[in-house]
Amino acid sequence: MTGEKLVLLGLSANDLESFAVDFGQPAFRGRQLYDWLYAKGARELGEITVLPKEWRSYLKKRNVEIGRLKEVERFVALDETTKLLLGTSDGENIETVGIPTKHRLTVCVSTQVGCSMGCHFCATGKEGLQRSLATHEIVDQVLSVREVMERRPSHIVFMGMGEPLLNIDSVLSAISCLNTDLGIGQRRITVSTVGVPHTLPKLAELALERLGRAQFTLAISLHAPNQELREKLIPVAKTYPIKKLLEDCKHYLNVTGRRVSFEYILLGELNDHREQAHQLADLVSGFQSHVNLIPYNPIQEEQFTRPSLERIKAFQAVLESHGIAVSLRSSRGLDQDAACGQLRRQHAKSS
Ligand code: SAH
Ligand code: SF4
């Protein structure tokens, strides 16, 4: 029997109970599925031996599947940062990274295969967009990292491949699932965006509607202290001026009550001058915000450089002198090309 594929991962406990009933079983079978999907991390229906064998065969015939991704490659850095290349059912590959510290395991998830935004410093942007990911493909990344690293992820950052605001629907469903079904608090989830015109108000509205509250952190990839430079680094900046982007951030803050934070990749001799730090401070000063400085990870084809630690510290000090909270992202797993999108590109070239 053929028919459309039905994927279970991403469904809530209620959804799974209804599913069980619709497919001829008592509701408690849905609860069993729920436990095996999320708590036990089952990959195939065949593993869920508490379910009657005949029902499992029936579900397979009806094209029901869990929807897990396959591990294609794994790289473990000296500091145990673990990068996974995961394969989708239609043959695409996506990257996900587990970043461990003593008290945290942060998973950096992808939201799309590739990215259409084409930011010049970004390896993912070089390949263009293949497609957006479905909810189960986002949730799987967290389960895959949990399985491989044998540890429960505590924090999620939507900072892998792709632009979350071009896939809002699946991103919000995934947040809901991570929150409710995997027990990761919304405040431990960060969604990073370069900014897409007209989408921030929609994100705020849909988050409140679908999640009940928007408590995750919104991080804006600013990367430049003025419009002129930002346009040179980020093509979409031409149609979405910084002024409008910051207005939309204010609106987001008013609607959700959550402060936004700003990300700033430091590119040597390009956006890391002291005057630029003062300019950046002026831009974000009305936000009581947080700035996350990210030293550039070199990618092929581009001439950008990573500033010296001295310059990075000087930039940080200027921001702090304006009373801005600043964090500096430490380099993790750099021994194997940490820049997002690099692993997938290397794999594509070698196969
Ligand atoms: N599209 C979203 C989320 C994915 S990119 C966004 O742009 O915010 C996630 C983060 O990785 C962004 O802050 C991005 O600027 C950063 N990044 C991309 N390429 C990088 C590089 N070569 N070195 C350091 N950070 C990079
Ligand atoms: Fe896309 Fe973000 Fe990379 Fe820009 S930085 S190309 S928006 S993934």
Confidence at residue 10, expressed as pLDDT on a 0 to 100 scale: 98
pLDDT digits (tens, 9 = 90+) for 302-333: 889 999 999 999 999 999 999 999 999 876 65
User: Ligand 2: which atom is nearest the Cα of residue 234?
Assistant: 4
Condensed to tens digits (0 to 9), the pLDDT of residues 260-289 reads 999 999 999 999 999 999 999 999 988 878
Is the CB of 159 within 6 Å of ligand 2? Answer: no
Q: Which of 108, 122, 166, 167 to mutate to test the pocket of ligand 2 (most atoms within 8 A of CB)?
A: 122
Measured from the CB, is residue 192 less than 6 Å from ligand 1? yes
C-alpha closest to that of 295 among 316, 276, 319, 278: 316
Residue 192: the pLDDT is 97
Ligand 2 pocket member 115 (CB < 6 A): yes
Hey, whose CA ends up nearest to atom 19 of ligand 1?
Answer: 122
Q: What sign for the dihedral angle of Cα 185, 188, 154, 208?
A: positive
For residue range 73-95, what is the model confidence (pLDDT) as tens digits? 999 999 999 999 999 999 999 99
* Three-state DSSP class for residue 19: helix
Asked if 242 contacts 216 with a C-beta cutoff of 8 angstroms, the reply is no
Distance from the alpha carbon of residue 122 to the mean position of ligand 1, in angstroms? 6
Asked if residues 166 and 132 have their Cβ atoms less than 8 Å apart, the reply is yes
Would the pLDDT of 132 be above 50?
Answer: yes
For the segment 243-248, the average pLDDT, to the nearest whole number, is 97
Task: Give percent of the chain with pLDDT exceeding 90.
Answer: 88
Average pLDDT estimate for 24-47: 98
Q: Would you state the structure tokens that stand for residue 297, as one six-digit string? A: 């990870």
Does the C-beta of 121 come closer than 6 Å to ligand 1? yes
* Pocket lining: 163 vs ligand 2, CB cutoff 6 Å: yes
95, 127, 137, 263: the active-site residue: 95
Is 95 a catalytic site residue?
Answer: yes
**Mean pLDDT calculated for residue range 10-28:** 98
CA angle 33, 173, 112 (to 5 degrees): 110
Residue 293 Cβ contacting ligand 1 at under 6 Å: no
pLDDT number for residue 1: 46
Q: Which two tokens stand for residue 6?
A: 């039905």
Q: Which of 108, 177, 249, 340 is catalytic?
A: 340
Tens-place pLDDT, residues 197-233: 999 999 999 999 999 999 999 999 999 999 999 999 9
The response to whether residue 271 sits with its C-beta less than 6 Å from ligand 1 reads no
Distance 159 CA to ligand 1 centre (A): 7
DSSP track, 225-260? SSHHHHHHH-GGGGTS-HHHHHHHHHHHHHHH---E
Ligand 2 centroid–CA 119 distance in Å is: 6
Residue 323 Cα to ligand 1 midpoint, Å, equals: 25
How confident is the model over 156-167, as pLDDT tens digits? 999 999 999 999
Structural domains for the chain = 6-65 (1.10.150.530), 70-350 (3.20.20.70)
How many angstroms separate the CA atoms of 242 and 283, rounded?
A: 9
Q: In terms of C-beta density within 10 A (0-12 exposed, 13-18 middle, 19 or more buried), how is residue 290 classed?
A: middle
Residue nearest ligand 1's atom 25 by CA: 296
301 catalytic residue (yes or no): no
Cβ atoms 10, 67 nearer than 8 A: yes
Testing ligand 2's pocket by substitution, the residue of 117, 132, 199, 304 carrying the most ligand atoms inside 8 A of its CB is: 117
Structural contact between residues 197 and 239, judged by C-beta atoms closer than 8 angstroms: yes
DSSP single-letter state for residue 73? E
34 alpha carbon – ligand 1 mean position (Å): 34
Which ligand does the CA of 294 lie closest to? Answer: 1
Expressed in angstroms, the distance from the first to the final Cα of the chain is: 35
